Chain A
Amino acid sequence: MTTILQVTGLTKQFAEHKAVDDVHFILEEKTSTALIGPNGAGKTTTLSMLTGLLKPTAGSVKMLNGDLRTNIGFLPQYPQFYPWLSALEFTEMAARLNGVTAKNAKLEAQKTLEFVGLGNAQHKKIATFSGGMKQRLGISQAIVHKPKLLLLDEPVSALDPVGRREVLDLLKGLQQETTILYSTHILNDAEEMTDQLLFLQNGKLVEQGTLREVRQRFDEQNYVVEFSNDQEAKLFASSSEHVIGCYVYIEIVNEEPTMKELLQRLSGCPYTIRKVERQTASLEEIFMKVAKKA
């Protein structure tokens, strides 16, 4: 994979408060990275520095193979548009400001609006748009010039469940074509479309890696065995194992018991086993652990 963006020691200090503190990460081409953190963690400040809106106190943002400003598309959390323009006029203007020729800008704008599902509303004034339509228009203005890097600040947090689903599906479609870095505090969304996770807390990058790597680091190796009744569960469980109803919770500590031992025990069990399941922590649970660790 090719590295597209390199962030080194990124720091932003507002008076006494360090909003972003020595953040390092890289983004690989055509990957999707989620910047996760609670409110006030420094997500928006980080994105603002990446867009060039805020000047970092220290550190650098380097786009490899190109100029950063001409190669990014940005969608703020609450995008504001000129209400007196139509969707087509706004997207066309966005394309032209990013260097698309006047001749191609209209065509590209029309194509992009079709892609985000606003083809039928392209001539309507933005003043008449709903929140979901504005978010889609926001995506349209961010991608119309085919940027190498797409920066999205909480792209779905202000939307209702239907709008959220629509926008998430759109973003999934874009994953194949461009590199995406988006901030979110809705962890289900991050779980759905992420190659890399960056956990920010109090301005510091406290954890990073692929979803799989982070899971390996923070996931508890627990198994749940379901029996046909409570009695069998109690008879099967050893003294150190938790039993809740017909479920036995087996915790693996320091690789004890081993998988082989566990399978032998299960195969020799005289009771009816309905299901054996490995418990996977949700991103939310992992996030809580990361936050606690930090």
Chain B
Amino acid sequence: MRGFNVLLQKEFKEAWRSWKFLWIPLVFALLGMSDPLTNYYMMDILNAVGNVPEGFEMLMPELMPVDLLQASIGQFQTIGLLVMMATFVGVISKERASGMATLLYVRPISFGAYFMSKFIVMSTVSFVSILAGFAASVYYTSILYGTLEIGSLLVSLCTYYIWLLFVIAVTLMMSASFKTIIATTCAFTVIFVGQIVDMIVGLFWTISPWKLANYGTLLVRGTMEMSDYWWSLTITIALTILCICIGIIMMKRNAAMAKI
């Protein structure tokens, strides 16, 4: 892992100076607070917008705090992932295409160190983001709907974070393997098509990384089948490690693609 510390510092500086530590958590915080607020003030919003016919009545379901958390996670799963993947998918391929990586590749650094420095910084940005998202969601939920049990909430947060690590590993692996456009297509296909497949056959396909986001909420509800949970967690961690290894190999193999 030669050069790891130097590369890690460089990656942190880049993330800090490009405001990634601010705006991505902000996006997640906004997503996190949107569901508790919009659901609670739905009637007021409709009345304020107008055009509601006279005598109109709407029966709102009585939402439990965990329903709001699930809704927030749903937001993270779509817009949140989209933002995160779009931000990270070019980190290796763009550096290679622009020639910025050339001045690093000709030095005696290890490709493992370079890949891992990027993975760790992205994981940190993701952790701060998901923390901001969960905090915003839980804060408004507890004010407007009632409190959530902190222990299960933390387990839910960690579970979702492990899923995010898998997403980051897939995104980085694609970036190391292909040019940016192809990497984007492949990464989005793997993650979002996986989600669609999970929606269609999820009742039967109970062990997969795509299940983790949902299992996090089930843990809070206390209705989780634990063997499915542990198997999904194990497989996700194993696949994350596999993606990291493939990413490092592809990064080394594609070093010759760096623009001179």
Contacts and interface: CB of A to CB of B under 8 A. Distances in A.
A55 B255 CA distance: 10
A53 B258 contact: yes
Contacts of B10: 82, 85, 93
Interface in A71-110: 72, 74, 76-82, 84-85, 89, 93-94, 96-99
B3 interface: yes
B99 interface: yes
A47 B6 CA distance: 26
B11 to A, nearest CB: 10
A153 interface: yes
Contacts of A98: 107-108
A252 interface: no
Contacts of B14: 82, 84
A80 B13 contact: no
A67 interface: yes
A78 B107 contact: no
26 contacts: A44-B260, A47-B260, A48-B256, A52-B106, A53-B255, A53-B256, A53-B260, A69-B108, A76-B99, A76-B102, A76-B103, A78-B99, A79-B103, A80-B98, A80-B259, A82-B100, A84-B17, A85-B10, A94-B103, A94-B107, A96-B6, A97-B6, A97-B107, A98-B108, A99-B108, A141-B103
A159 interface: no
B106 A74 contact: yes
Contacts of A52: 106
Residue of A74, A79, A80 with highest tally of chain B CB at under 10 A? A80
A123 to B, nearest CB: 14
B88 interface: no
Interface string B83-112: 000000000000000111011111111000
B18 interface: yes
A139 B200 CA distance: 57
Given A93-B6, A93-B10, A69 B100 contact: no
A85 B103 contact: no
Interface in B100-149: 100, 102-109
Contacts of A96: 3, 6
A72 B106 contact: yes
B124 to A, nearest CB: 18
